[in-house]
Structure 1
């Protein structure tokens, strides 16, 4: 969307609140393609997109005009279900989304950072069709308290290393690299997401897929 000088002046006089709430071009394109803002399904879900900031593994801001978390409607409904499941047992907690639907051109920028390095196992290659984020069928998230502060999970989201893997957590606890509290928090997150129909990714405690990659390629189109 292009703002005219009159709109910009109006936004300035209004304290720019309206402008801040206006979806960017990427968000508008996702809506036109049928993707859903997850907070329209459940406004209690918190969103803090990590690629809209520079404190991610690329060290760059990749989402220059996207601050909302979009998913395919099926995945968005399942995420809202997960939030309800969590609230039923832990009303003081909330899901906090760090990434959801991701355009393929952003996927390419991420791949360029890890290509040719041992870290490339953590990023899907666009040449191979990308990953489920590129279909709006995957979500990266954590748990947070009522203030929005994230619970201890052992690593930050976006940590590319074995400590983020979910299949060696018991060993990591024994070695003192992962606290029992962080392990319990991870288990709670997995429990909630699985009950809602998501599947955990072995190498990233924060990543959950709603369908398989084969299903996505067969029935859906990636986001350009």
Structure 2
């Protein structure tokens, strides 16, 4: 098998074909209502991919699968999101690539992922909200969240933490790689 790699980014399915890839921003079925990504291929930081594979293997032992909604995101896409929703609780402010010198784990370097869980047939488990829900329902500490949805989201969070990710409190689906060496942000997505 050929592994497509561009700098720190690698095509996830070249490393492990057991993921369900549903890059929401490569379709018009997202909060923008239009296709944002030029490619439906899921690229991710190589070290982040290894941690995500470890998480996927843990849920597989429990008879579940992992679906990836987002991983690497071009800086231009981040700018587009910010232009539509300038709220730092839900969309990170895009960097000025001409002057930035310090980087952090982000979608813009493939060191963050947006994921959910499915059954073995690919049917998504009940979670507290839909993906990219910009309300309090996206938070695990939302008082309205309970029962099976809360249980599933907590399970996902615990698995991801065990594999080396840090959850984002404002979105049950968003996880930062704990990689201590953030890569540079990337302007383009590999095709």
What's the TM-score, normalizing by structure 1?
A: 0.74
Q: Does 1:95 align with 2:95?
A: no
C-alpha distance 126-54 of structure 1, shift in aligned 2 (>3 A): same
Which structure is larger by alpha-carbon Rg, 1 or 2?
Answer: 1
> Which has more helix, going by share of residues?
1
> Superposition pairs for residues 123-138 of structure 1, below 5 Å?
123-127=91-95, 132-138=106-112
Q: Which residue of 2 aligns with 1:109?
A: 80
CA distance in 2, matches of 1:45, 1:202: 24
Number of equivalences: 178
Q: For CA contacts below 8 A with separation 6 or more, give which structure has more relative contact order.
A: 2
> By how many angstroms is 1:36 displaced?
1.2
CA distance in 1, matches of 2:9, 2:159: 23
- 2:173 counterpart SS class: strand
Q: What whole-Å deviation, never above 9, does each CA across 1:111-150 have from its counterpart, x for those lacking one? A: 10013xxx44210111376860001100001001122111
CA distance in 2, matches of 1:113, 1:121: 14
1:44 maps to which of 3, 18, 24: 18
> By how many angstroms is 1:157 displaced?
0.7
Unaligned runs of 5+ in 2: none
Q: What whole-Å deviation, never above 9, does each CA across 1:12-34 have from its counterpart, x for those lacking one? A: xxxxxxxxxxxxxxxx7xx3324
> By how many angstroms is 1:211 displaced?
2.9
Q: Is the 8 A contact 1:38 1:80 kept in 2?
A: no
> Which has more strand, going by share of residues?
2
1:197 maps to which of 164, 167, 170: 164
Measured on the aligned residues, the alpha-carbon RMSD in Å equals: 1.9
C-alpha distance 131-109 of structure 1, shift in aligned 2 (>3 A): farther
What's the TM-score, normalizing by structure 2?
A: 0.86
Q: Which residue of 2 aligns with 1:8?
A: none
Unaligned runs of 5+ in 1: 1-27, 173-177
